[in-house]
Structure 1
């Protein structure tokens, strides 16, 4: 089965956000995909939004960074691990132009069953997730703040009363060990159902640290998800879900681009990071003859811990033209210890029309509140002004009202209008205490706030001539809120931090879908143009050891093509491709970011592609399932100055599974050609440095369906 999620058409699937038990196994071969892009379950053919729906199959669940792998399966999408659980995400060339400077600094919304997540929660593990919906283009109307470029919605499997008990195990040559188990049951017939899933996974690193002899890039993850579903009366359902994840590891670091094939660092101590995430959600849904009302509340707790030596001897030797031994034994003088803690509460009440009505509508109220604490003790011989204890507190509150209505204009045309308006308040407090460096002020306190009233919206015209065809034209506005960085790099000079401005964009899109060959071939195509104002960007000022934050205008445009073919002779083929062109606008005079008018937006690939081929045949009294995936990403600018490009790369993943009865065994290879991708890059004076993706992993796995 290929990663594209196919669910057969039925009334139960269309009437609920959760697909019915019959089709939740993703086994439908010719039916429509069911998505929740408009906050209710709908056939993909009925949704005028560019969407890629992906089922996190076994080949993805075994990875510890499924977010990056999943992003490669959608055109014009990039998600890159930035360390400490944070991701750098770009959709259609729109996104954060640099590393996240706070959990609020993002233009890509991430939601769990529709609940907005902090960017520090990020993707987490795709544990017991039935599909991932990649919604491209502004989604601020229905998914709220920080959805300027798009939204990634994780849809989990829900407790439905089906009795099941499953277990799986995987082992690979990179030290990969994954154990997973899921169980579900009806606790009170027809009233209460429960479901639980757990996973433990680890892998060793593949980047050698000459200073300690260790291998950097190791990770260990333990995660669990549990849910209860209560249906005490007809038309009323309640859902309670909990998720917990703990991750530890010694993350990779920048390596000199010229020596990437050696994959070497030289640090006196291994870096360390840990991440603890807890989320909980409660949802109540009441169906009535005329409409549906839903109320939900969510809690999130995120704790991050990172220790990092700042001086890599191999990198600094290249920068200063000296032997690397001169930059060793620096752990006491070039070190950063970062701690952060965030607590989030969210709530929403919405009303929506029942499926099948002539006029489709949805509206509601949303609230989001976060309390974030940051601390960093840093010693830095290159930039003595950074030698300090820094603490910060950022609190944000957002209230908004939203609505969308779809009005039929004729038998074949319809118009959708949507808008969201709200008010945000963000406060920032920080304390800087010098470690006694001469010329640096001993202490500096600051406090600031930013508040704004805002609105975003859009209009979409749809045309449905029949025959499983549709086309649309849309115009939407996107927004990413203003805010503050977690730290002020100029505090040692007694200069207060100014908030970064909100970013706004105008997004134009034309798209269409068509089912051919009696539904065996599904094709979708779209073209887009984004005009982004005050896009949040960052650049590294190596000399002063600081991150520069600046707002720049830029434009992106491109095309996307997706297709799925069931050949009818056992083969299932999924393919997509995207082209994106970007250009930065006027750059303020005197800017030290290195940006120039006409430069490409960093991190954006000019071309992306994916082809997945699946084949099922009977074999030795069982079923043999073979999958081969090829992913391609072209070269892209590493930074704002376009000083160098991250190399393009292609990767091949393969999986062969044999299933008989309740037992399944499989062989797998991830990154079969063992080509390490360049995922992030920056220029340290005249030296180009890059982050590297994982090496090849080859292994075996077993799974059992222990009972139903």
Structure 2
């Protein structure tokens, strides 16, 4: 396990640079006999964290992080990639609200549990160093080298600042080898997966290209009692093409084109108390169609004493959605006429969301082998977000804020300068420090034209502006007890800017939409990282405390019959433990445990949303855990002449959590079991797999309109199938 040298990093100094080949799960693996002969300890390949001040080994980085790579990536379903990543990461919980809220997470109990705009950066999602919109498509698992989840405030080394942490998806880069991988899967409930990955040198040692294509689909598994058939169908398409230009050992450029499509008919919520649970009473079915197109250019050049890096990107995301506001199974307890609940022409909204974003960053950094590690840089992020909603069919006063014709536009201009350094103070003791200055301007334009819904006005216009400048950063110490063990402690300042809501609840009634404040936090962390028994065992542990002011939390406002965002103070504390161990040359075990207590504080008495000091922060499980095992052996053990047999299984647990700040509704804990069994050799593999083997219909989100009208978002059921791949 060694950090990559400058020469090894010729084709990619600013992104993940570990030597993980295309689709590691399908690489040939040495037989047990060969492994014993080689006598080379093995635990983890080196994963280089993108954007750090040096190419730091993920193990050695003085912060709490989790890395998902190799076979584990292949086991994550492409129809819900963020959920798959979150369940493999201690103290990381995805906010599964559906609709446009696809990149919304909570780390260590900190995060916006209901995103007010696509500009939210409580938890940042990045692909190849490029920040993603909170309303963008979930990053695809297609052709990845690794996914890294880093806990605690981020931003001192580039990208968008985050208050809670970051999730980084690291795509494979082109290489100067010729490769072709074909993979396919078939399973129950209409599961289909097809994947093609091709890599080729175009000009020897100078220009290389890579193309990755994937399509997957799954039929719905939520019966619709009104329309018949099933809701919940998902179709996902992804494509990535990249060109690497490397004219010399110190210079390279990477041009990448990305395309993604993600369509589903998953109900946002269904009745928890329905006799047919899980089932839907929607008419028409909800429909969400999302499409993303982006291009990015990375350029790196090594000067004599430092490295220069530049990233530029532009992306365009569109979302078309049809939303039935009145599911009869949820609202029939309120005495609504059945014909109103089941009508396809009443209380339906049709919306179009369009976002165009631009990101540019330049930075200078030290080389990996320099004793004084540093990074300085600046970036800008610009976004234009426009929404048009047709709610002219909304006649129920309960949903008046959805009514009429709404044409709203939002603009963000963000500018940042950042610096980070790690320097030796005395033998084995290092100082960790970083600072980021951010300035953001946000503009909102609301245009409302009423359709006569009770309680609404005929038209209303509001222009709003929000501006803020703030400092974030960290200071800490790390100490190397031995070459195999290190401890660290740090204090960090985090923030996520305020602004205006993309969903106006006041405009239809003739009132201005209020601004919400910037949320700030202090984060304290201490941890230990150790490698034992000739690197066959790795144990990472950390503890933390977060003090959050004006946190953006989800609350139900009975006067509006709607879920709104509030700004409440809260605190979170707990810890993480992760272990990976090679028990024998054939058997590897891994596991993670996260524990978080998150409670509201300084809450004024008599607020309209039922919040009380001491209540649990919503959607924060106290306990998260995962454990997995993988066994590999020479196929001769079962009478095959060549190749390996392999089997793996994992259990992922998410604890109970509250649905909103009043703690009136709780979501129960759940556990999911996944497994895979197969054979592989140098160029092919076949396997059987099971995701959610015991068909746990877990509750991913919840709320309540009142007694007898609880609603939930339900997770995907069991998928069992077969797969095969061939590699040339």
**TM-score, with length taken from structure 1:** 0.95
Q: Trace 1:399-438 onto structure 2 (pairs within 5 A).
A: 399-437=415-453
Q: CA deviation at 1:59?
A: 4.0
State the partner residue of 1:50: 64
CA distance in 1, matches of 2:301, 2:589: 40
Note if contact 2:238-2:259 (Cα within 8 Å) is conserved in structure 1: yes
Report the CA distance shift for 1:384/1:565 in structure 2 as closer, same or farther (over 3 A). closer
Q: CA deviation at 1:31?
A: 4.7
CA distance in 2, matches of 1:10, 1:35: 8
State the partner residue of 1:616: 632
State the partner residue of 2:377: 364
State the partner residue of 2:669: 648
CA distance in 2, matches of 1:77, 1:525: 15
CA distance in 1, matches of 2:137, 2:453: 37
The DSSP-based 3-state class of the residue aligned with 1:195 is strand
Q: CA deviation at 1:109?
A: 0.8
Report the CA distance shift for 1:19/1:558 in structure 2 as closer, same or farther (over 3 A). closer
1:580 aligned to 2:596? yes
Q: Deviations over 1:648-682 (max 9, x none)?
A: 00110000121134221010000011111100011
Report the CA distance shift for 1:197/1:38 in structure 2 as closer, same or farther (over 3 A). closer
Report the CA distance shift for 1:568/1:9 in structure 2 as closer, same or farther (over 3 A). farther
Report the CA distance shift for 1:678/1:471 in structure 2 as closer, same or farther (over 3 A). same
State the partner residue of 1:4: none
* Moved segments of 4+, more than 6 Å: none
State the partner residue of 1:160: 175
CA distance in 2, matches of 1:89, 1:260: 32
CA distance in 1, matches of 2:250, 2:9: 15
The DSSP-based 3-state class of the residue aligned with 1:284 is strand
State the partner residue of 2:364: 351
The DSSP-based 3-state class of the residue aligned with 1:95 is coil
User: Which of 47, 60, 81 is the aligned partner of 1:66?
Assistant: 81
1:700 aligned to 2:722? yes
State the partner residue of 1:300: 315
Gaps of 5+ in 1: 1-6
User: Which of 497, 514, 521 is the aligned partner of 1:498?
Assistant: 514
State the partner residue of 1:151: 166
Q: CA deviation at 1:537?
A: 1.6
Q: CA deviation at 1:252?
A: 2.1
CA distance in 2, matches of 1:132, 1:655: 21
CA distance in 2, matches of 1:637, 1:423: 34
Note if contact 2:14-2:300 (Cα within 8 Å) is conserved in structure 1: no
Q: Trace 1:464-479 onto structure 2 (pairs within 5 A).
A: 464-479=480-495
Q: Deviations over 1:314-362 (max 9, x none)?
A: 11123x2x48835533332211112110000010010000111121110
User: Which of 271, 277, 284 is the aligned partner of 1:269?
Assistant: 284
CA distance in 1, matches of 2:306, 2:501: 43
State the partner residue of 1:207: 222
**TM-score, with length taken from structure 2:** 0.92
Note if contact 2:121-2:160 (Cα within 8 Å) is conserved in structure 1: no
State the partner residue of 1:392: 408
Task: Between 628-637 and 48-57, report the one with greater CA deviation.
Answer: 48-57
The DSSP-based 3-state class of the residue aligned with 2:59 is helix
State the partner residue of 1:625: 646
The DSSP-based 3-state class of the residue aligned with 1:70 is helix
CA distance in 2, matches of 1:506, 1:427: 28
Q: CA deviation at 1:645?
A: 1.3
The DSSP-based 3-state class of the residue aligned with 2:156 is helix
Note if contact 1:359-1:405 (Cα within 8 Å) is conserved in structure 2: yes
Q: CA deviation at 1:223?
A: 1.1
Q: CA deviation at 1:600?
A: 0.2
The DSSP-based 3-state class of the residue aligned with 1:258 is coil
User: Which of 327, 344, 348 is the aligned partner of 1:335?
Assistant: 348
Question: Cα RMSD between the aligned structures?
Answer: 2.0
Note if contact 1:86-1:122 (Cα within 8 Å) is conserved in structure 2: no
CA distance in 1, matches of 2:213, 2:320: 23
The DSSP-based 3-state class of the residue aligned with 2:298 is strand
Higher strand share: 1
Q: CA deviation at 1:545?
A: 3.6
Note if contact 1:297-1:347 (Cα within 8 Å) is conserved in structure 2: yes
CA distance in 1, matches of 2:220, 2:48: 37
Q: Deviations over 1:385-405 (max 9, x none)?
A: 332111111001011110011
Q: Deviations over 1:170-196 (max 9, x none)?
A: 011011101000000100001100000
State the partner residue of 2:266: 251
Gaps of 5+ in 2: 28-40
CA distance in 1, matches of 2:207, 2:593: 44
Q: Deviations over 1:618-665 (max 9, x none)?
A: 121221111101101111111111112101001100001211342210
Q: CA deviation at 1:268?
A: 2.0
The DSSP-based 3-state class of the residue aligned with 2:342 is coil
* Count of residue correspondences: 697
Q: Deviations over 1:576-602 (max 9, x none)?
A: 001100110122344212211110011
